[in-house]
Amino acid sequence: MPRSVNAVAAKARRKKVLKAAKGYFGRRKNVHTVAKNAVEKAMQYAYIGRKQKKRNFRSLWIQRINAGVREHGISYSTFMGGISKKGIALNRKVLADLAMNHPEAFKAVVDKVKSWFFSELKKVNHLWFTFFINFVEINK
């Protein structure tokens, strides 16, 4: 009985790898074993790159928002804290776009957060002031 081999599927697998290695330099493009390693490494880089892309864009959005809010005299952390406390449902991508392309709309958002922040600051200062007065009266 003759030996049975699945040459059709094996050739298709090799062809798929060599097609993916098209454009590579030297033996990476035409020797199956070398091409297989090169394609596998390229897929790892692509997977890692998709994760890094998300990180890089988030970092870029944060930088743009920070630059925009500092023009209006407020820090990034204060602004983002105010956004969440105020209940404004705009993500960093949208805020960065507003800061870059629609400064008047971004200023309106910053003004809302600033008004909330200063009202909270007055409450905190008032509480601190009453605490201080009570402390002084107790220690007389």
Helix-strand-coil percent breakdown of the chain, rounded to 5? 80, 0, 20
* Residue 109 burial class via C-beta count within 10 angstroms: exposed 0-12, middle 13-18, buried 19 and up: buried
The answer to whether residue 90 is domain-embedded is yes
Specify the number of domains making up the chain: 1
Average of pLDDT values for 27-40?
Answer: 96
The answer to whether residue 87 is domain-embedded is yes
Q: Up-side HSE of residue 3: CA atoms within 13 Å toward CB?
A: 2
The answer to whether residue 84 is domain-embedded is yes
Identify the H or E element spanning 45.
helix 32-70
The answer to whether residue 128 is domain-embedded is yes
Q: Give the lowest-confidence range in 22-31, 52-61, 114-123, 125-134.
A: 125-134
Q: How far apart are CA 10 and CA 17, in angstroms?
A: 11
The parent domain of residue 45 ranges over 8-138
Where residue 53 falls among pLDDT bands split at 50, 70, 90? Answer: very high
Q: pTM here?
A: 0.74
The answer to whether residue 2 is domain-embedded is no
> Which tens digits make up the pLDDT trace of 72-112?
988 999 999 999 988 899 999 999 999 999 999 999 999 99
> Which value, in Å, is the radius of gyration of the alpha carbons in the chain?
30
Q: What is the CATH number of the domain that holds 80?
A: 1.10.1900.20
